[in-house]
Amino acid sequence: MKLLLQRLVFVLALPAVLVAVWWFASAGSTDVYWPPLRTILKTFPDVWTGERLIDDVLPSVSRLAAGYAAAALVGIALGTVIGSYQRVRAVCEPVLEFLRAVPPPVLIPVIMLFAGIGDTMKITVIASGCVWPILLNTVEGVRALDPVMAETARSYGITGAARLREVVLRSASPQIFTGLRQALSIGIILMVISEMFAASNGLGFTVVQFQRTFAIPDMWTGILVLGLLGFVLSVLFQLVERRVLGWYHGLRASTRRSS
């Protein structure tokens, strides 16, 4: 219990300090673009009603989930193939480096030409940006497979799907989760950017509409919602990571104790 309270203090200390600084720094503000924090918090419940959460937040989260899931499937599958075969890696590496260097927001007009302006476009934009950290980290994780472990698995007759699941992906899973974590942050950014183009709902669309109508406190509440959404998704990701990679974190903890 004591350890839990200490962790809670560490987690909440910096956000509490930042909120306090924001509160006092903006308390006497008369700038229309920099309203006091108390005004923003007072506006928050009036703006983000249950209806708006369903009409704007839920579609955004759905698009993010779909794009993120598609990127994870494609990135892990391709990364496993590319990382497993040196010749495939040699052929694909120049193309991957070129495509990775292209910023995903630049592709939005091109994607709109092929996918239209509906949810398909937004999901494609999110997936096109999220796939790269997942793909590249999967490649590196698969390449780093311990040769002794691979030879031992072969000696015990572990081949095919069992080898892929229990040896290759399990060994690469810490690196894969690193890519998944990076992709989550990118996905939230692209979710907002994609909703600023030809959208009729979503968090990005709503924040831009508030800005265009000079509803500045409402705009700031949208920014707070995005921050809270990112925080909640990060916490959920950590819970999943701890459960899936429990063996890895336990191994690292025992190594630190022994050293």
Convert 89-156 into a string of H (helix), E (strand) and C (coil): HHHHHHHHHHHHCCCHHHHHHHHHHHHCCCHHHHHHHHHHHHHHHHHHHHHHHHHCCCHHHHHHHHHC
pLDDT of residue 139: 93
Domains of the chain: 36-258 (1.10.3720.10)
- The total number of residues written for the chain in this structure: 259
Per-residue pLDDT of the chain (259 residues), as tens digits, is 666 677 777 777 888 888 899 889 888 888 888 999 999 999 999 999 888 899 999 999 999 999 999 999 999 999 999 998 888 888 888 888 888 888 888 888 888 888 888 889 999 999 999 999 999 999 999 988 888 887 887 887 777 888 888 888 888 999 999 999 999 999 999 999 999 877 888 999 999 999 999 999 999 999 999 999 999 999 999 999 999 888 777 767 676 666 6
